[in-house]
Amino acid sequence: MDAFEHLLNGFSVATQPINLAYVFLGCLLGTVIGVLPGIGPAAAIALLLPITYGIEPTSSLIMLCGIYYGAMYGGSTTSILINTPGESSSVMTALDGYAMARSGRAGAALAISAIASFVAGTASVVLLSLLAVPLAGFALKFGPAEYFTLMLFAMTSVAALTGPSLAKGLLSMFLGLMFATIGIDLQSGQQRFTFDMPELQDGIGFIVVVVGLFAIAEVFSGLEDLVKGRSEIIRMSGSLWLTRDEWRRSVMPIVRGTGIGFFKGVLPGAGATIATILSYSVERMLSRDKAKFGTGMIEGVAGPEAANNASTGGAMVPLLTLGVPGSGSTAVLLAAFIMYGLQPGPLLFEKRPDLVWGLIASMYIGNLVLLILNLPLVGVFVRLLYIPIGLLLPMVVSISAIGIFAVNGNIFELYVALGFGVIGYVFRKLAIPVAPLVLALVLGGMMEQSFRQAMTISGADPGVFVRSTICIALLSASALALSIPFIAPLLRRFAPGPATA
């Protein structure tokens, strides 16, 4: 069966009335949460996980994916109207989007953001559909050593490429691995670092960490910002329709942004943020009005927004075909899969094609739903920004408490989440990225098992990690990723002219 037939079967699953309802609900909730300042896709998925309990896994994952790309859509609204990106991938949108809003073109900025997101999101799902089968087939060649090096590559790239310092990225990654070792060792049955606390025997719950790091930490930062009076909301103004000139100027940035976003999304670590930076830099480089970037150029919104949303489709490629997420948000999605007893990867394509292809097909529908929701209803979503932060953020804490308590009914996990909230706040203050920690926490257990299985098979010979071409390629890629923070400043020194963006 080829990809097209699989996709048709997927559409038969995704177009069932109940699944259509979950696509709609996921997109709506994702957009609403994405619009709320500071709450990004990872926190959105983690916070809304409790409402999926009791729902059939396919429908539930369809909804969670809708929340994921809905939140990516919604994040641009806060960038444009209050200059507060929901997450780092919306930072570039804020540069020209906020400037457009200040000059009375908020409607046009929001419209091009929705259109670029729709085009790029749909194109990236087409590419995902085409790449899924060959990549899943290739992934069947992976043994424990290959999986270990793949996870090492995913983690080191995220650690090296997110945040301003390699040391901080690696610190976040190793702390995540450290937390992942808490609990009962699966191979020996030995308790590790549990301090005789039965609550820690199963390890630290992933949802607990994500809610703490993303949602509770955001409450701390948001209330601090409120106290310091940083936020200024620009009221939506100007027509939602673009002028002929704006259309003409937006087409090619959307096309280029889609290509950049998808391929960067596929690579672990590079992800949406770097894709948007690259897209913005390319548009600025190609423009005849370089100096006007940052003052409200529509190309500076169209390109990064396309790159941002194309990367969501790209990020689903390694998650679904290899079972390895490349970002904090997809790591949360992986946790959701695991919560339902599903392990994404090549075997899932064989065992549950209905689920995988139903999910992929739902993304086509989801992108359309988001366009329909975002263009005419953007004015309604914008009203959410006028909810006083002092009312909104305390409610986020309560929703977090419900979400965590609903998993195991365990109060201890609430304290752990609060602790991770404090860690997340301190990380923000020290510019330590949290994505490597999240990724390492979710992959740490699998990584350790792969490492020990490979070593056991090889009779404790570390040479097993350089025996296959795949391993050598992945180790080389990891080394390259780790060397980028050292090489990039040298390259910048020799580059002609001022740095872009």
Contacts to another protein from residues 472-491, by CB under 8 A: none
DSSP class of 486: H
- Stated as kind and residue range, the H or E segment containing 25 is helix 17-35
According to CB under 8 A, which one of 171, 209, 272, 359 is a site residue for another protein? 171
- DSSP-derived 3-state class of residue 242: coil
Give residues 105-164 in contact with another protein (rule: CB under 8 A). Answer: 164
224 binds another protein per the rule CB under 8 A: yes
Query: Smallest gap, in angstroms, from Cβ of residue 297 to another protein?
Result: 25
350/346 Cα distance (integer angstroms):
7
Query: Smallest gap, in angstroms, from Cβ of residue 355 to another protein?
Result: 22
Residues in the chain, overall count? 501
448 binds another protein per the rule CB under 8 A: yes
Alpha carbon 259 to chain centroid, angstroms = 18
* 479 Cβ contact list (under 8 Å, min separation 6): none
Q: How many residues bind another protein (CB under 8 A)?
A: 73
Cα distance from N-terminal residue to C-terminal residue, the chain: 46
185 binds another protein per the rule CB under 8 A: yes
Of the two residues 14 and 180, which places its CB atom closer to another protein in the complex? 180
Contact between 312 and 306 under an 8 Å Cβ cutoff? The reply is: no
469 binds another protein per the rule CB under 8 A: no
Of the two residues 60 and 330, which places its CB atom closer to another protein in the complex? 60
Give residues 412-441 in contact with another protein (rule: CB under 8 A). Answer: 414-415, 418, 421-422, 425, 427-431
Give residues 12-71 in contact with another protein (rule: CB under 8 A). Answer: 50-51, 53-54
Of the two residues 7 and 439, which places its CB atom closer to another protein in the complex? 439
Of the two residues 5 and 202, which places its CB atom closer to another protein in the complex? 202
187 binds another protein per the rule CB under 8 A: yes
292 binds another protein per the rule CB under 8 A: no
Residue range at the interface with another protein (CB under 8 A); choices 61-69, 136-144, 167-175, 300-308:
167-175
207 binds another protein per the rule CB under 8 A: no
231/38 Cα distance (integer angstroms):
11
Of the two residues 247 and 405, which places its CB atom closer to another protein in the complex? 405
Residue range at the interface with another protein (CB under 8 A); choices 190-198, 239-247, 298-306, 471-479:
190-198
189 binds another protein per the rule CB under 8 A: yes
According to CB under 8 A, which one of 27, 46, 127, 177 is a site residue for another protein? 177
Residue range at the interface with another protein (CB under 8 A); choices 6-14, 116-124, 221-229, 309-317:
221-229
Query: Smallest gap, in angstroms, from Cβ of residue 73 to another protein?
Result: 22
**Alpha-helix residue ranges (DSSP H) falling in 181-323:** 206-210, 217-228, 244-266, 271-286, 299-322
Sort strands 191-192 and 183-184 into parallel, antiparallel or unpaired: antiparallel
**Alpha-helix residue ranges (DSSP H) falling in 323-460:** 328-339, 346-351, 353-383, 389-408, 411-429, 435-457
Query: Smallest gap, in angstroms, from Cβ of residue 191 to another protein?
Result: 9
According to CB under 8 A, which one of 21, 286, 380, 406 is a site residue for another protein? 406
Neighbours of 20 (CB within 10 A): 15
According to CB under 8 A, which one of 130, 140, 251, 395 is a site residue for another protein? 395
393 binds another protein per the rule CB under 8 A: yes
381 binds another protein per the rule CB under 8 A: no
According to CB under 8 A, which one of 190, 490, 491, 497 is a site residue for another protein? 190
* 66 Cβ contact list (under 8 Å, min separation 6): 22, 23, 24, 25, 26, 27, 29, 30, 362, 366, 369
139/362 Cα distance (integer angstroms):
24
Range 99-108 burial, b when 16+ CB lie within 10 A, else e: bbbeeebbbb
215 binds another protein per the rule CB under 8 A: no
Tokens 């998925």: give the residue.
45
Contact between 98 and 234 under an 8 Å Cβ cutoff? The reply is: yes
Of the two residues 162 and 309, which places its CB atom closer to another protein in the complex? 162
Backbone angles phi, psi at 426, to 5 degrees: -65, -40
Contact between 304 and 92 under an 8 Å Cβ cutoff? The reply is: yes
According to CB under 8 A, which one of 44, 46, 136, 173 is a site residue for another protein? 173
388 binds another protein per the rule CB under 8 A: yes
408 binds another protein per the rule CB under 8 A: no
Assigned token pair, 148: 């270990």
According to CB under 8 A, which one of 368, 401, 475, 484 is a site residue for another protein? 401
